[in-house]
Structure 1
């Protein structure tokens, strides 16, 4: 397994870990408003998913402007149950795993046309690392939101992932 694939597996595990924690809590936790980066945990999860989906489209050959346009509606699509989010993330994780297993050269570079930052040449692995970093950042938001709502979060650090039994995520 290569390093980008390992990092993606961590990202999928960390998403699953925090979703499992949210599933343990009252279902209302998804829609309770907080004064944070997102108005609700559901909004944060929808954003994480939309961006993960957008990067998947880019990695599989869609131009970034088109991928952004395709995924923008997902950013505002709020789901009513944690089970829906769990299924969405699991399905996308399976797509990523299949894509990663089929790519032996993640150092391949592509021209990325980012409407917010401009055009640059970047490797597939850099995009995977960005996706993981983005997810880590927003899982931190979700952890803070959980605490604001009076609930403990759950540890989902990369160093904990090292000690987990290998599982399909």
Structure 2
């Protein structure tokens, strides 16, 4: 079960990198261009994704947090650097954690208490990222550019080549 959970998180990290690499080849101003979507820009979508990944990681580590200060990203490089650092920390933690079924008790942003296993939280992080990568892909198309697939099956095909 641990191996599968790690694989899903590796996928999450890989898919974000694929999307950022694709965006780095497009005009740099598109990440801050206002779009009528779930978030007002690609960069704001990444801000949200980063904040959620960080929030859940802090909860997994036992920190009592209800919200965190949002980072602001101006460039794809800033986004890539932030995610690379955070995901490295998360993967180091997960690799050292003996029990991914360990229960994490936390309060949501409304102060309600919940509990989930680390594994369930990681699956949530990955699923949340997939949803918002889809938002970003749609935004890229709205701006007149071709998207890139970040589907799990492409990750598996890529991972099996290595």
Question: Residues 56 and 151 (structure 1 numbering): CA distance in 2 closer, same or farther, change over 3 Å?
Answer: same
Question: Residues 62 and 21 (structure 1 numbering): CA distance in 2 closer, same or farther, change over 3 Å?
Answer: same
Q: How many residues align?
A: 160
Aligned to 2:99: 105
- In the aligned structure 2, how far is the partner of 1:117 from the partner of 1:139? 28
- In the aligned structure 1, how far is the partner of 2:14 from the partner of 2:51? 18
Q: Does 1:19 align with 2:20?
A: yes
Aligned to 1:123: 117
Question: Moved runs in structure 1, 4+ residues, more than 4 A?
Answer: none
Select 2:135's aligned residue among 131, 134, 141. 141
Give CA deviations for 1:15-70 in whole Å, capped at 9, x if unaligned.
001011100101011111111111111100111111111111111111242xx2xx
TM-score (norm 2): 0.92
- In the aligned structure 2, how far is the partner of 1:115 from the partner of 1:18? 29
Following superposition, the deviation at residue 152 of structure 1 comes to 1.0
Decide whether the 8 Å contact of 2:45 with 2:132 is kept in 1. yes
TM-score (norm 1): 0.89
For structure 2, which runs of at least 5 residues remain unmatched after alignment?
none
Q: Does 1:3 align with 2:4?
A: yes
Aligned to 2:49: 48
